[in-house]
Amino acid sequence: MRDADGAPVATGEVGEVWAKAGSFSVGYLGRPEETAAAFVDGWYRTGDAGYLDDEQYLYLVDRTKDMIVTGGENVYSSEVENALSSHPAVLQVAAIGIPSDRWGEQVHAIVVPRPGIEVTADELIAHARSQIAGFKVPKSVELRSDPLPLSGAMKVLKRELRAPYWEGRTRAID
């Protein structure tokens, strides 16, 4: 695990997972800038955020690009999603950071409710507040009837969900 400057982090501290092995590729074909960003001194920057426990077991907490920095605090989107998905009305959920003049980014949740179950944004926010720390609770919730966009690997395409909010702005993490 490494911090933003590439320095190793302490056991139990969250950092970016860097990996090194004899069989990694040498880079991305035709994408020299991405290769330079991902491969540093023989190490591959995975883009995953995680930590090692005392026994050196690796725990992944999120993708680094999906982390939300709000008021100087790091919020892992997966933690917000886990809290909201524990509500019985939630079929799909994605937590993203959207621009905030006050906080830099604010936590925003996009929720697809289960068919036939009514739920409000206020109910979901209250549910999240009972599950996670206050600064991690979504400031806003968007309810959708259409499914969230998925990749071929069936993962939510958060960059597509973030794009309309960040149009014409620069996000610090991207």
- pLDDT grade for 171, boundaries at 50, 70 and 90: confident
- pLDDT grade for 87, boundaries at 50, 70 and 90: very high
Cβ atoms of 143 and 119 closer than 8 Å: yes
Domain with CATH 2.30.38.10 in the chain: 15-61
What is the rounded radius of gyration, in angstroms, for the C-alpha atoms of the chain? 18
Q: What pLDDT was estimated at residue 24?
A: 74
Question: What number does CATH give the domain 15-61?
Answer: 2.30.38.10
Q: What pLDDT was estimated at residue 113?
A: 98
Q: What pLDDT was estimated at residue 80?
A: 97
Does the pLDDT at position 96 exceed 80?
yes
Does the pLDDT at position 173 exceed 80?
no
What is the arithmetic mean of pLDDT over 66-86?
95
CATH architecture under which domain 67-166 falls: 2-Layer Sandwich (3.30)
In this predicted model, what pLDDT tens digit does every residue of 3-61 receive, in sequence order? 988 999 999 999 999 999 877 788 899 999 999 989 988 899 999 999 999 999 999 99
Cβ atoms of 58 and 52 closer than 8 Å: yes
Q: What pLDDT was estimated at residue 174?
A: 62
Residue 118 Cα distances to 87, 143, 148, 154, angstroms: 12, 10, 18, 26
In this predicted model, what pLDDT tens digit does every residue of 104-145 receive, in sequence order? 999 999 999 999 999 999 999 999 999 999 999 999 999 999
Q: What pLDDT was estimated at residue 88?
A: 97
